[in-house]
Amino acid sequence: MSETQGTSWAQTHSGEPPVTHWSFTTDAPLVDVSLARETDEVVLADESGGVYLLDRDGHVAAVTRGLKGLSKVAISDSGDSIAASHGRNRVSLLNRKLGVTKSIDLPDPVHGLALDPFGRNLAVALGNSQVRIVSTESGKLKTVAEFATIRPIAHIVFLATKPTLIEAAEYGLLCEHSLKGKALWDEKLWSNIGAIGVSGSGSLIATAAFAHGIQLFGRGGRNRGALQIEGTPHRVAVTYDGRYIIATTLERHIYRLTTKGKVIWTGLAPREVKFLRADAFGHSIVCGTEGGRVARLAWTPLGPQDSDDFTGGDA
């Protein structure tokens, strides 16, 4: 698709199209994106060390450019806590002005980072296959539990309705652990995993499994089959209520689906979508491209829309 200014998502969609509620470009290539599902705020990180806090309408609430070597960012669903991994294996908690309030140094590179819904605990997945649970509530960040998996974890999500974690490796493993490190179940997979999406209760887990489609799992890791879409799914998100699945493909398609696989909308992104997040009820999604272009696409009116419509050239 041509990326000339004025080209519209609506010209490439089938089904019910969204509007671009806002779009934003970071100063350097994008490293990570995190969405607070209660406040609809978004945190972005880029390769220059920039961290950006955007409100639900895409306005910059805070920005810092001092965290070199950024690899991951996370914001709690409540919006009260923000965390970032940076430097030599360091994880820091940030305040609402994005100033560092406390940090912890870890023995290996950070592959995955998540905050619980209220920001009381951090989960940090390391390259040595360790996962550490870090409490944020004391005067310093303190490891309160740790466990190891058979493969390094790349994707990690706190459930909202019980104190457990859903984790996945880049290949071959999907599992759940308690916050004390107890293994609750694990599922051996025969596919690469580009991303996972998890409903608030964990009743629906979706993996973007490339040539194997979108793999679906339920509580206890029960296999719920697969959804096949045109293209190669490499990113996926699931709404909090588990009603909608959003997926993107290596071929730049974006799909909005029901859990039964009915396609509600599909569009063609101007660039490959590297980062994908869905709000709690599927009213909107946040898409980010590697070059630093981020947009919020909304099916329910959220306010004034961006006339740019996420179609200009990528930074």
Could you report the per-residue pLDDT of 212-247, keeping only the tens digit for each?
A: 999 999 999 999 999 999 999 999 999 999 999 999
Domain boundary among 137, 163, 190: 190
Same domain, 41 and 178: yes
What are the pLDDT digits (tens) for 5-27? Answer: 333 443 467 888 899 999 999 99
What amino acid is encoded at 200 in this protein?
Answer: G
Same domain, 41 and 154: yes
Q: Is residue 79 part of a domain?
A: yes
- Domain with residue 169: its CATH number is 2.130.10.10
3-class DSSP state for residue 148?
strand
Phi, psi of 220 (to 5 degrees): 75, 10
Reading phi first (left if > 0) and then psi (alpha if -120 to 50, else beta), residue 175 is in beta
Q: In the predicted model, what is the mean pLDDT of residues 26-53?
A: 97
CB 168 within 8 Å of CB 150: no
Same domain, 216 and 283: yes
What are the pLDDT digits (tens) for 257-287? Answer: 999 999 999 999 988 999 999 999 999 999 9
Residues 6 or more apart whose Cβ sits within 8 Å of residue 90:
103, 104, 105, 106
Structural domain boundaries enclosing 51: 30-190
Same domain, 153 and 183: yes
Q: Say whether pLDDT at 315 is over 60.
A: no
CB 210 within 8 Å of CB 192: yes
Strands of the sheet containing 214-217, edge to edge, are: 196-198, 205-208, 214-217, 223-227
Q: Say whether pLDDT at 51 is over 60.
A: yes
* Per-residue pLDDT at 313: 39
Domain boundary among 142, 168, 190: 190
Distance (Å, rounded) from C-alpha 226 to C-alpha 235? 15
Q: Say whether pLDDT at 106 is over 90.
A: yes
Same domain, 79 and 174: yes
* Per-residue pLDDT at 6: 34
Q: Is residue 315 part of a domain?
A: no
CB 257 within 8 Å of CB 231: no
Tokens of 203: 């009743």
* Per-residue pLDDT at 306: 61
Q: Is residue 62 part of a domain?
A: yes
Q: Is residue 314 part of a domain?
A: no
Same domain, 163 and 222: no
Which residues, listed in sequence order, are joined to residue 126 by a DSSP beta bridge? 110
Q: Is residue 144 part of a domain?
A: yes
Distance (Å, rounded) from C-alpha 158 to C-alpha 74? 11
Distance (Å, rounded) from C-alpha 164 to C-alpha 175? 10
* Per-residue pLDDT at 9: 46
Distance (Å, rounded) from C-alpha 112 to C-alpha 107? 14
Same domain, 81 and 18: no
Phi, psi of 219 (to 5 degrees): -60, 140
Same domain, 127 and 240: no
Same domain, 42 and 166: yes
Q: Say whether pLDDT at 309 is over 90.
A: no
Same domain, 37 and 145: yes
Q: How confident is the model at residue 308 (pLDDT cuts 50, 70, 90)?
A: low
Same domain, 163 and 268: no
Q: Is residue 213 part of a domain?
A: yes
Burial status of residue 66 (CB atoms within 10 A of its CB: 0-12, 13-18, 19 or more): exposed
Q: Say whether pLDDT at 47 is over 70.
A: yes
Q: Say whether pLDDT at 36 is over 70.
A: yes
* Per-residue pLDDT at 88: 86
By mean pLDDT, which of 100-104, 177-181, 238-242, 305-309 is the weakest? Answer: 305-309
Q: Is residue 166 part of a domain?
A: yes
Q: Say what the pTM is.
A: 0.92
Domain boundary among 190, 208, 243: 190
What amino acid is encoded at 83 in this protein?
Answer: A
Q: Say whether pLDDT at 192 is over 50.
A: yes
The string of DSSP letters for 287-311 reads EEETTSEEEEEESS--SSPPTTTT-
The tally of domains found in the chain comes to 2
Average pLDDT, the chain: 92
Q: In the predicted model, what is the mean pLDDT of residues 288-305?
A: 85
Same domain, 144 and 82: yes
Q: Is residue 243 part of a domain?
A: yes
* Per-residue pLDDT at 202: 97
Q: In the predicted model, what is the mean pLDDT of residues 122-147?
A: 97
Q: How confident is the model at residue 301 (pLDDT cuts 50, 70, 90)?
A: confident
* Per-residue pLDDT at 3: 32
3-class DSSP state for residue 10?
helix
